[in-house]
Structure 1
Amino acid sequence: MAKNTPRREQALTRERIIEASISLLDSRGESGLTFRALAEELSTGAGAIYWHVANKNDLMTAACDALVARTLEVPVIEAAPQDVIRAVALGMFDAINAHPWIGSALARAPWQSPIVRLLERLGQQVRAMGVAPAGQFAAVSALLSYILGVSGQNAANAQIGKELGGDREAILAQVAAAWSALDADAYPFTRSIAPQFREHDDRADFLAGIDLILRGMALPG
Structure 2
Amino acid sequence: MATKPRRAPRRTEALSRDVIVKAAIEILDAEGEDALTLRALTVRLTTGYGAIYHHVADRGDLLAAATDDVVARLLADLVADAEPRQAPRALALGLFDAIVAHPWVGAQLNREPWRPALLDIYERVSEQLQALGVPDRALSDSASVLVSYILGVAGQNAANARALAASKMDRSAFLATVAARWSRLDPVKYPSVYKARTHLREHNDRQQFLVGVDVILAGIETVNRAGARPA
Q: TM-score, normalised by structure 2?
A: 0.90
What is aligned with 1:136?
139
Q: Is 1:57–1:108's contact at 8 Å kept on the other side of the alignment?
A: no
1 CA distance for matches of 2:129 and 2:198? 36
What is aligned with 2:200?
197
Residue of 63, 66, 74 corresponding to 1:71: 74
Q: Is 1:22–1:63's contact at 8 Å kept on the other side of the alignment?
A: yes
1 CA distance for matches of 2:110 and 2:139? 23
Q: TM-score, normalised by structure 1?
A: 0.94
1 CA distance for matches of 2:202 and 2:8? 58
Q: Is 2:67–2:105's contact at 8 Å kept on the other side of the alignment?
A: yes
**After the TM superposition, which of the residue ranges 18-27 and 81-90 deviates more from structure 2?**
81-90
Q: CA deviation at 1:6?
A: 4.3
Q: Deviations over 1:61-116 (max 9, x none)?
A: 10011001111120112x22221111111111111111111122112211211101
| Structure with the greater alpha carbon radius of gyration | 2
Structure 2 alignment gaps of length 5 or more? 1-6
2 CA distance for matches of 1:204 and 1:117? 25
2 CA distance for matches of 1:214 and 1:26? 32
Residue of 19, 23, 29 corresponding to 2:22: 19
SS of the equivalent of 1:80 reads coil
Identity across the alignment (%):
48
Residue identity opposite 1:76 in structure 2: A
Q: Deviations over 1:14-69 (max 9, x none)?
A: 10010000001111111100000001111111121111111111111100110011
Structure 1 alignment gaps of length 5 or more? none
Q: Is 1:39–1:46's contact at 8 Å kept on the other side of the alignment?
A: yes
Q: Over aligned residues, Cα RMSD in angstroms?
A: 1.6
Runs of 4 or more consecutive aligned structure 1 residues displaced over 3 Å after TM superposition = 4-7
Aligned length: 218
SS of the equivalent of 2:85 reads helix
2 CA distance for matches of 1:205 and 1:26? 25
2 CA distance for matches of 1:166 and 1:42? 35
